[in-house]
Each structure stands twice: as C-alpha cells, then as structure tokens.
Structure 1
Amino acid sequence: MRRFGMALGLWLGIHTLAAAQSAPIQPPSPSPSVPAPAPAPALTPASPGAAAGFSPGIAYEKRHVDYTVERDGRYVKETESLRLVLNDAGVREATQILMPYSASLQTAEVVFVRVIAADGEVTEVSASAIFDQEPYASQGAPTFSDQKVKAIVLPQIKPGVRIHLKTRLTQRTPLLPGAFSAVGFVSPHSARRDFVFTVTAPPELPMHVQTIDLPHTRDVLGDGRVRHTFRGETAEAVPQEVGSVARIDYSPRMVVSSMAGGADLAATYRALVGDPTRPTERVTALARDITRGQTEPRAQARALYDWVRLNIRYVNVVLARGGFVPRPLDTILANGYGDCKDSAVLLGALLRAVGIESTPVLINAGNSYWTPEPGAVEAFNHMITYVPALDIYLDATGRYHRFETLPGADAGKRVLHVATGIWARTPPTARGTLSSQQLIDVADDGSATVRTVVRGDGEAASMLRGLFAGLQAAPDSQLVTALLAQAGANGTGTLRRPDVNADAPETTIGFDYTTRGFLDVPGPGAIRIPATFTGGLSPLISQTRVRSFPFPCPGGVMREDIELRLPANVRLLRTPVDETRALQMDGGRTTYRATHVREGRVLKLTREIASETAQPVCRAATPEAQQAFVEQVQRHLRAQMLYE
C-alpha cells in the first residue's frame, strides 16, 4: 500500500473517516538502583545544520538495559533511564510513561520513579500514581488480549526537569521454550549519552551475537556466566523523516540470541506449535466442498485462498502464547475469525487436505526490511503462506487482494519458511496504476458538467477496494459533500462506488457532478483543473522530501487525463508546455511527464508520475537533485491556463 498511500492519503479529506495512527512507544533501559543523580549539563539538540527549527523534546542522559537470562530462556530485564525534559514538547511526551507487558507471561514492576527539579529537589512518585491499563487496539482491528500497560503519571513536569526511572520485567514463561532472543537499537532521533545494553547468560545457554555500529565486548564472570555488553556513543538528535524505513533498519543495533540462525528459530517454533496444518475431518470436508469440480492445483489453491480471505474475519487474539501459537483449526472455523497465524494455518490445512503442500512463513509486514542473522522472534510480526508447487506466497488476511498478489507491506521482504528453516524473499509488488480521467464540459454561462472515473489496477485496485470497504458506513451524501469540497465545486453530484469484494484486476470508481461558476464569463481569467479522488499530482510532488535516511522504493504509475471542452464564447490564450523530468535514486527512478493537445475548443492534458525500482529499499539522490526535481515539477503543475 505504500506505493499509492501518499496520494490517497490526500484523497478529498475522506481519509479522516478511515483510520487513526498509533504512536510508537520508545524502548526503555536498565542499571542498578542508585540515588537520584545531581543535575548534569543538558544534551544539546541537533546541530544547526541538521534541520532548522528542530529541537527534540527529551534527551536521554542515561539509558541502561540489562538482561539476566536463565538456562531455560526465562529472564529478568531491568531498565534504568534518566530523561531530561528540554521543552514543552518534552513535557507532553513525559507527562505519562507507559510500560507494556503480558499479564500471563510476564511480571512488571516499577522499582522507583523520581522527578528531579532543576534546582535538584527530588520528588518520589508514589504507587498511587501508577495504574494498570488495557492497551489501545492496534490497526483498528478487534482485539482480545491479556496485554497490559503500566501507566506512570508524573507530577510537576516542566522544561529542565529530569525523570529517573527504573523498571523490572520478569519473563516467567519464555515465548519459545528453552530459547532467548533480544533485539535493540539506538535511535538517532533521540539525544543521548551513557547508553549500555547487557545480556548475562549461563554457559549452558550460549548466545549468538550480531552488532552493527555498536561496540561489543564479551566477558566471562567469576561464576562462569557470560556477559555481552554494548555501548552507544553520545550523540545529538536528528529529526525523523516521514516515509522512511523503520528506525531499526538504519540505527546502530544489536541482536543476542540462543538460536544461531533461521533454521534454529524455525525448529524451535515447530517444537512449540507442533503440526498446526494437519487437517481435521471438518477441514477436509470443507476443502473438498470448496474445490468440488476442480482438479487443477492452481484453481484449487485460488478457491481455498478466496474462501479464507472472505470468510475468516481478522481478530487479533493475544492471550498467553496466543500471540505466537495458532488456535485449533476447528475453533477457527467455529468462530469465523482469527489473526494472521490462524488464517495462515487454516489455509495451509485446506491446501493439504486436497494434496497441496505449503509452509507457514514468518515475515515483518511493517516498514522494516532488515532481518538479523541470529534467530530472533522479535524480527517478525506476521505470518503468511508459501506454496512450493506453485511458487507463490499468499496472505490470507489480505481480504481485498486477489490470488497471487501480496499486500505492499509483504512485498520484497526477507522471510523465514517455518517448515524448512530456509530464508527466502517475497516478490516485489506488481507494478500498478492509479489513474483518473476527467471530462469537463463548460457551458456558455461558465457552469460545468464534470464526469470523473478513477481506475486502479494491481496494488492500487486492492487498496481502493479496501479504502471503500472502510467507508461503507459513510452515506453517499457525506462522501459527495466531501468530494465537492475537494473539487471546489458549487453544485450536486453522484458517486459510483466499487464492488469491494470483486475478484478483478481493476477497480473503478465514478463521480459525476455539476458546478456553477467554473469559469468567470466573460473573462479574462485562469482555468483551475479541479482535484480528483487521488488529490492530483501536485500534493504528491509536494510531499517528495529531501531525504537522508533510506525509504521504501516507490513503484507504479499515477496518471491523470483531462479533457476540457470550452464553449464558443471562451478562447484559450495560453496553455502549459509539454514537460519531462526525471529523478534518479539509488535503487529506482521517478519520471514526470506531461503533454497537452489542442483540438479546436478541446484541450487534452495528460500528466503522470511513474516510478520504477529494482529493489525494495531506496536511498535518495543528492539533495540538490531532489530539490531541483521537486521545484521544476511543481512549477509546471502550477502553470496557468489563461482564457478570455
């Protein structure tokens, strides 16, 4: 979805009806309990050249994270941090600190929390200011969870205050029996110093380490335990860039795991879940019913995939190890809902029931493309299915994605096949096109009739279906009002919605309307082309940023075709010239093209942004090249058409 998300995020303001974003929780840190330290000099924000006007709200003057691991994979994680509140943004950020945990697997404790005023006065925060809360449901999906959050409400927070916090998290039951893994990173977007991350483990549970840009030492303690220590450098903060890959992909980072690699992780996971795709009698009967009359494996797989994606509702169930272990097949069928693991194993069982083998696949379906070499369950957040005989990946939670297509969040990812422990990579998102056609027929009095059709194919078609599925509860009158406002129209309109359950490579939406005062007649004046469903190309170009961090490579085409029919009493004086501009990136290329054709009183305009890529992650061109491309394209898009 990242391919067209930027354009559709601007889509006539209706996107405000669709979804809310969740704020990330910053990871904590550890060290022994110590008295409240004396005030230290503040860490400075980013250097003047980093970003004009940028100032982080919080600086970490201390951040220690210490794991003490048992031989069976249980552990105690102690986190100690000293935060300095720099400004009002930091006050908002630090007024409440959250500590998430699993009630069935973990015990969470706040060892101490102290607020240290600028003059050194220390206030101990009492237990009455610490609350257990339910977490917010993620991604707008229904959730059944035993996840809890300890919320620490802090008093007297103002710029110059320091917050000294120590917490303890005890993992009573390992996520994977007999195994331990931890992944950490040092974000460049936080001002920091004195960052220390340690893992202490018995010799019976040897650890495998990967570190990138973080110094690492290994020490054997007097009792034979081994301690791995990682230290981060003091650094100023730099601002985040919207649309970049996950912070862990470009931050100094480390992985410590008892599992040497993907094969060990897959074997450990198989030992936990057993054989979840073994068909039951009910599953076998259902598979035969769904595929009745079909003998070709691809047709059978398509029918089974379509049944799961359309009949198993996504509900996030995180109870005990339920975040990792799928539920029994017959329970999934009886409920008619499940999460990604449930949908993946049900699809696998249905395939197996008709003789088609498959494997569950572990994947990170977010904006992270980096995977560690040691086995680490923290590197994955989603499960899909791979069918070797057909060489296809299927995501049964992709309700609006056709067979043999993957959601953009699954594309181009390094994945782990659970059945074999083999690393592989999903295919890139198929090139898609989001196009709009506008026919604008202007009458003698300056009013106009506008007929608009928006078409999406590939990933754009799936996204349009999903977007309108989320708007099913919004009446046409509400959407039409928003569309007219987006177009700057004063009139009435009719909306033609897509079939959100259609299994077609293309999705079509229509909007026809009339508007008064499209042109001021008689002129002279300038013609403004009204925005369409996609918001037009101008907002998309304006969001192209001068980047420092890697980002998911854009792909696909966004195109608009406009036919403007003018009355006999209106004469065009000037139209924009044709234009072609290109921006070469490390990993891809973006091209802007525009053509204009006059045929009597008819003007035909075609404008498009086409992005091509050979890899999932790109790095930007030079700042000068990025800025020049944006300015040149924006100048062309702003060029006026004059009439009299």
Structure 2
Amino acid sequence: HLIPLPRLGTAIGMVNFILRDAGLKERRFPFLTEYACGVSEEFRLELDAALGEPAALPTFETMDTPTLHWDLALDWSGRTLTGKGLFTIDTPEVSPAAYLEMKESLKTLEIQGRKQPIFRKTAEAWAGADSVVLERVTEIELKDATHWSRLDRVRRRILTYKGKKDHAELSWQYNPSWETVEVVRAAVTAADGTVKVISPEEINTMDASWVASAPRYPAGRTLVASLPGVEVGCTLEVEVRSTASGGPFFATRHRFGGFDPAQRQVLRLRAPAGLSVRVGEVHGGLLAPDGDTIQSTHRRQGDLVETEWTVLDQPAVVREDGLPPLECLVPTVLISAGEWKDYARELRRAMDRAAEGGLEVRLLAGKARERHRDPAALVQALRDLVVTRVRAAGPSLPELPTAAISAADVTLRDGYGNSADVAVLLGALLRAAGLRPEWALAAAVPPVPVCEAAARQYPDPGLFPAVLVRVKVPGLGVVYLNDTHQYAALGSTPHDGRLGLALRRGRLERIEALEGSRDAEEVEYVIGLDAAGDAEVTYRRQSRGGLYAAENRRFSEMPPEERRRYFEEAIAGLSQSAEARSELLTDFTAQPGREGFSAWVRAMAVRDGDYLTLNLPRSLRQLMGLRADTRREPLFWSAPRRLRLAFEVVLPPEFNEVVLKPQEMVWEAPEQAGTVRTTVTRPEPGRLQVVHEVDLRPAILPAAAYPELLETHRRLSHPAAATLLLRRQPAAAAP
C-alpha cells in the first residue's frame, strides 16, 4: 500500500503564494519575494493494522541554500506515522544567479514530494488467518483451444494448526486419457531456516473415488503429495506442472483470492496470436467488476501474445454461511478459447452416434409403446425403466473427452453410466419409441443475472456438468429428464430456472419445469377451540416439484413400523398431550402430493380467567436461516422458496374478541428477490384466518442489506407472529 502524506507545507502559506510566480527558467532582473517567510508543519496518521508494517519509509534530502530551506522527516511508532517539516524563503530579493540555484532546488523539491511510504501486510495483519499466500504464480501456455500446459508455483506460510492440517497434504485430480500432472518441486522451510524437500516416496497416485464403480471409463487419478515437516510458522513452496490435450476447450475462472490472505498473485497467459481467446477482468469479483485491483500488461513475442495480470495484498474472504461463488467476491480473470455453438455441435454429433441403439434398445422401446399408448405414460415408463436399471456412476461430462461417450447398448448392458451416457440411453429409447428427444446441458451456475451473464460471455464446459434429455410430450408440453427419479412427477426438474445449453440449437436457454410442477408447499392447520382451550386440529400438507418427489419417495419406501413412528412423532409435534383422531393419510398418486391427519389437543390454548392464549403450531422463524448478527460478505440464496402457510382458527363463542394477533406485513426482499406476505382476516365472526405466503427467488444479497434481513427475521421469529390472545365476551344483560 502507498500512503499519501497529508502535507500542507507545500500548498498553503505565503511561501507557496510567492513561488507560484517562479515560472521562468532564468531571469535578467532580480526576483522580488518582498518577504522572508515560511511554514512549519507537523502531522500524525493513525493507521489501521490491516495496512501492515512499513516496507519502506522514504528519506528526504534537506535543501539549505542562501535562498530557501526545506526539510521533512518521518517517524513510525506503534501505529502512528508522524511527519515534521519546515519550508522557508530566507530573502526578500533573489538575484538572477541565485534564481537559477533556486529553480534547481524547486526541481528537487518536486521530486521529493512524490515520495510516499510503502506499507506491506505482515503476520500481525493476518490475524485470524490459518495461512497466508506469500506468492502464487500461474503460467498458462495455449498451443490451440484443446492443447495447453500450466505451471503453478505457490509459496505459503502456515500460521495455525488448522492451516497445517489443511496444507500438509495436497492433492490434484486428473484423467491420464487427456491430462498429466507432475509435482516439479515441493519444499518446506521451517521457522529456523531448515529446508526439507519432498521425496518420491511422499508422492503417490491413487484411483479416483469413482473408478471401482465405473470401470468402463478411462480411470481418473488423484495425485497426492504429503509434505514433510509441516508445522506452524513454516513456509511451503510447491511447483506443479500439468498438461491437457484432446479434451474440452480451454477455459478458466482464475480467482485472485480465497479464504486466506495473499500478498502477491500473478497469472500469465501465452497464446498464439491467431487463436481467438476471450478475456474478461472483474476487479472486485462479478458483483463489483470495475476498479483497478488487477494490473495487466501485454506484449508480443513472435507468434505468441503474452498477457500478465497481477494482484497485490488481497485480503481473505470471511468464512460465512451462504456465500456465493468466490468469483463473485474476489478479483477474477475469465478466459475462454471456445464458443458454445461449436461445443454444442461437437457434443450433439458424438451423442447422436452413441444413441444409434441396437436390438435391445429397440425391443425395450417397442414393449413400452405397446403397454402405454398415452405419450406422457410412455415417457414416464421409459424414464422409470432407465432409473431402475441403470445406476449413476462415473465422471462428469467435462472430465472426459467426447470420445469417451458410450453407446446406448453398452450403458444398458453394463447397468451404469455417467450423466452423458444415461442421457444417450434415454434419448435412444425415446427415439425408438417414436418421439423426438433433444439433449441439453444443465448449468451449475447460480441463477442470478451477474453469474449467468459471465457464463454467456465466457463459455466454460465445467459450468455445465449435467446432461438432460428434453422432449415435447403431446398434450403436456416440454419436459426434462435424467435429473429425477421414478418418484418424481413428469415435468418437474431440480434445474428449474437455470440455464441450459440446447445442443441442437447451440445456444443457452432457460430450463423450465411445467406449470404446477415447480417446487412449492402448502400447509394448512384448522384449529377448532373450545372455551376450555382444548382443540380439534386438522393438518393438511400439499407438495409439488422436488418436494413432491422427496415426500413420495419417503412414504413409498417407508416400512410400516417407521410410518407408525413418524405419525406418532407428528402428533407429538403438536403437543405432548395430543391424541390422534384419524389415521395418517397420504396420497402421492399425482401432484400435488397430500399428507394429513386429525388430532385432539388438550389445553392447546391456555386459559387464564377471561383470556385464552393460543400459540400457533408453526411460524416462519426458520425462513431466513440467519445465525449471525452481522455479516461481511454477500448472502447467497441458492434456491427458490414457495410456501403458503395458513391457519384457520374456529373461535369459541365465549371468546370471540381477538385482543392480539399476528401483524399483517408485506416485505419486498432486496435485489427484487421476492416477497413475504402475512394477512389476517375474519371471514366470519367466529373464524380467524392467518396466512403467510412466501415467494422468494435465488439471489445474491449485498452485505449492506443484512440489517434489513435481520429485522425481517426478528419480526417473523417474534412470539407475537404466532400468538393469538382472545378475551371472553361480557355476558349479555338480562332483560
């Protein structure tokens, strides 16, 4: 950090007023100052510890001539930077010869004025960090869009025991069919200067975790380096080289920062001048792209163009719940050497070839078509067939070259496949059944505008790991398959609202669940109170989308004994004194899924003289999920929340006056992220309805909005939001 000095001595006072007229290079006649004058100054700067310690305090040359005097001295003590200076003109008249000497002094003074203290973060400024990156240099050289090499060099100091545990063993994932990884050098320098270099015996290669369950695919590998003598206070130096050839096109999101502070980070990219490479810089992350945090240089070396990006003294990201992806928070360089349309065309051709199903595929499709004349039933039957006969196993699509995509018959025969292979099989079955399926890649990108815009502008295969099957079902609409199981309703998808890459059209489109199949929940309590506070309670719950699929699976696979216990616990959740008045009723034959029961609860409302107090059995207190009173980083809502929570309270005739009830409210979430609404109505004199409606969308909310979230959370969690106070009506006077 450069610290500008608040120097007033060269800006104010008569001495500076006089020198404004000293613009000539030389004079024939004396320069009249009319006054012998000067200014003395002293300043004190209290500097935050986050700025670190002085790396260099400038020293200033004292100028003392018969015409003028200037000096400035700096001192650093504690966290205070002190400066003392004097600037004087010592004569009211300057001869032409002395004027030339004064001009040279003013030139020197101007140069002296550009000097600034340099501060650098030290271990004191890293309080709370587990380790600090002293230097990280990454060098990438592209031969073409699918062949490149990469060299990573990192120097890191370990500050805590957790830092030791996190970095004593390092690992890298790769697939030898198109990638190599090599530890060039790894050394540990202890606090006393002792250096230990890693030995070959401390570097091991293991199979990736999925290899045993999916032997058909080129085996992935994990390179593990166990660094010797890692202790608190030591410095790690690791250099790793990797290469890639023949896989998906090159793309990266190089993040300058993370959960540890970093002093110096450098990225160098060399690419042929004729290679089309898209590059974007976001200085404060995707959420704050403008600024000058990233310093870049460009130069031409023959047929190569080299670009270098440097970031200094990047603070750590605070570990908090609900963080967005790191590229939203830290300086990032986005690089892509490919286009979505070209990637889609290559994948579609490979998947079309693989989907040319053989005899077994045609037989299965033919049998399904004979049994199911209704197109929706046919599609669901084929989906369920694949789900029950083929298990998910193997690497994701971007981890392998397209040549590794398996034929549909092979996946059916082996009984397993990764997302791409299962999609190929499902597509082949649908084609053989007379339908026209398409393939689409589903994004893992957060469905918020800034993240989606970056995905559109800087293509990256790693952002779209899942392969879906898209098919138009007559009478129903477009449905997506290969991301749900047999318990899900046709038309629902966990990727609802996310970007998808349509392979046939070669463009990014929105994946949408069918209307009525989006994730949603409706819960209703009907509470019939009597004057003693006892209540008849009817509970009903409806679920759609992914919630329907989860509940359908749970109740379909639930053994009778577990179902009995579930029901007992649900009754006890109302009250320990609650007694069931019905069986547990569940119906998941179609959307919405339904669950319900009735119970009698003794003293559900507490009577105290002329008052009845009822605590409603549920509220929105867990809606926000906030655990802290303050927040440093933005908050990420990753999924939509749609909920209708309703209470209908049948009031006893004697207690028909409502003294206290939940307050009505309408809350508009920041960043247009949806609404939370509470309404309280009296549809009839003896009935009270309290309805909460939640419709929240995925969003990244700034830390500045956190106090508003806390206040809303406080209102939703307050006991008053779930409490009714009723008062006895005075008895009517006798006639």
Give the TM-score normalised by the residue count of structure 2: 0.66
Q: Distance in 1 between matches of 2:585 and 2:168?
A: 45
| Pair 608,568 (structure 1): closer, same or farther in 2 beyond 3 Å | closer
- Paired residue for 1:5? none
Report the Cα offset of residue 353 of structure 1.
Answer: 2.6
Bigger relative contact order (CA 8 A; separation at least 6): 1
- Paired residue for 2:262? 192
- The aligned amino acid for 1:351 is L
1:170-185 to 2 correspondence within 5 Å? 170-171=243-244, 173-176=245-248, 179-185=249-255
Q: Distance in 2 between matches of 1:155 and 1:414?
A: 45
Contact 2:527 2:536 in 1 (8 A): yes
Contact 1:359 1:419 in 2 (8 A): yes
Contact 1:572 1:641 in 2 (8 A): no
Q: Secondary structure at the match of 2:504?
A: coil
- Paired residue for 1:456? 543
- Paired residue for 1:49? none
Q: Secondary structure at the match of 1:630?
A: helix
Of the three residues 107, 118, 137, the one matched with 1:64 is 137
Q: Secondary structure at the match of 1:234?
A: strand
Of the three residues 452, 455, 480, the one matched with 1:394 is 480
Question: Does residue 265 of the first structure (1) align with residue 343 of the second (2)?
Answer: yes
Per-residue CA shift, 1:565-587, capped at 9, x if unaligned? Answer: 78999999854244113124223
- Paired residue for 1:506? 592
Question: Does residue 113 of the first structure (1) align with residue 113 of the second (2)?
Answer: no
Of the three residues 502, 507, 512, the one matched with 1:417 is 502
- The aligned amino acid for 1:508 is R
Q: Distance in 2 between matches of 1:58 and 1:471?
A: 47
- Paired residue for 2:110? none
Question: Does residue 77 of the first structure (1) align with residue 155 of the second (2)?
Answer: no
> Across the two proteins, how many residue pairs are aligned to each other?
580
Report the Cα offset of residue 356 of structure 1.
Answer: 3.4
Question: Does residue 434 of the first structure (1) align with residue 521 of the second (2)?
Answer: yes
Of the three residues 417, 424, 432, the one matched with 1:338 is 417
- Paired residue for 1:376? 460
Q: Distance in 2 between matches of 1:98 and 1:330?
A: 36
1:254-403 to 2 correspondence within 5 Å? 254-259=333-338, 261-270=339-348, 273=351, 275-292=353-370, 301=379, 304-305=382-383, 307-309=385-387, 312-316=390-394, 321=400, 325-365=404-444, 367=446, 369-370=451-452, 371-387=455-471, 392-399=478-485, 400-403=487-490
- The aligned amino acid for 1:219 is R
1:129-148 to 2 correspondence within 5 Å? 129-133=202-206, 135=208, 146-148=219-221
Report the Cα offset of residue 455 of structure 1.
Answer: 1.5
- The aligned amino acid for 2:282 is I
Q: Distance in 2 between matches of 1:142 and 1:397?
A: 20
Per-residue CA shift, 1:296-316, capped at 9, x if unaligned? Answer: 766755554454456544334
Report the Cα offset of residue 538 of structure 1.
Answer: 1.0
Of the three residues 288, 292, 299, the one matched with 1:219 is 299
Contact 1:526 1:642 in 2 (8 A): yes
| Pair 567,89 (structure 1): closer, same or farther in 2 beyond 3 Å | farther
Per-residue CA shift, 1:270-320, capped at 9, x if unaligned? Answer: 465562333433323332332337777667555544544565443345698
Greater CA deviation, 106-115 or 514-523? Answer: 514-523
- Paired residue for 1:42? 123
Q: Distance in 2 between matches of 1:269 and 1:561?
A: 48
- RMSD of aligned C-alpha atoms? 4.5
Q: Distance in 1 between matches of 2:141 and 2:491?
A: 45
| Pair 366,148 (structure 1): closer, same or farther in 2 beyond 3 Å | farther
Report the Cα offset of residue 508 of structure 1.
Answer: 1.9
Q: Which runs of 5+ in 2 are unaligned?
A: 1-119, 284-293, 728-735
Q: Distance in 1 between matches of 2:319 and 2:262?
A: 15
Q: Distance in 2 between matches of 1:324 and 1:466?
A: 36
- Percent identity for Structure 1 against Structure 2: 19
Q: Distance in 1 between matches of 2:641 and 2:152?
A: 44
| Pair 393,283 (structure 1): closer, same or farther in 2 beyond 3 Å | same
Q: Distance in 2 between matches of 1:150 and 1:358?
A: 40
| Pair 432,263 (structure 1): closer, same or farther in 2 beyond 3 Å | closer
Contact 1:265 1:375 in 2 (8 A): no
Q: Secondary structure at the match of 1:330?
A: helix
Greater CA deviation, 589-598 or 490-499? Answer: 490-499
| Pair 576,194 (structure 1): closer, same or farther in 2 beyond 3 Å | same
- Paired residue for 2:101? none
Q: Secondary structure at the match of 2:123?
A: coil
- Paired residue for 2:318? 239
Q: Distance in 2 between matches of 1:221 and 1:630?
A: 58
Q: Distance in 2 between matches of 1:469 and 1:45?
A: 53
Report the Cα offset of residue 156 of structure 1.
Answer: 5.5
- The aligned amino acid for 1:44 is A
Report the Cα offset of residue 506 of structure 1.
Answer: 0.7
Q: Give the greater-gyration-radius structure (CA).
A: 2
- Paired residue for 2:46? none
Q: Distance in 1 between matches of 2:446 and 2:129?
A: 23
Report the Cα offset of residue 505 of structure 1.
Answer: 1.9
- The aligned amino acid for 1:185 is R
| Pair 117,475 (structure 1): closer, same or farther in 2 beyond 3 Å | farther
Give the TM-score normalised by the residue count of structure 1: 0.74
- The aligned amino acid for 1:543 is L
Q: Distance in 1 between matches of 2:531 and 2:124?
A: 66
| Pair 511,216 (structure 1): closer, same or farther in 2 beyond 3 Å | farther
- Paired residue for 1:582? 667
Contact 2:470 2:478 in 1 (8 A): yes
Q: Secondary structure at the match of 1:540?
A: coil
Q: Distance in 1 between matches of 2:418 and 2:508?
A: 23
Of the three residues 217, 223, 242, the one matched with 1:169 is 242
| Pair 625,445 (structure 1): closer, same or farther in 2 beyond 3 Å | closer
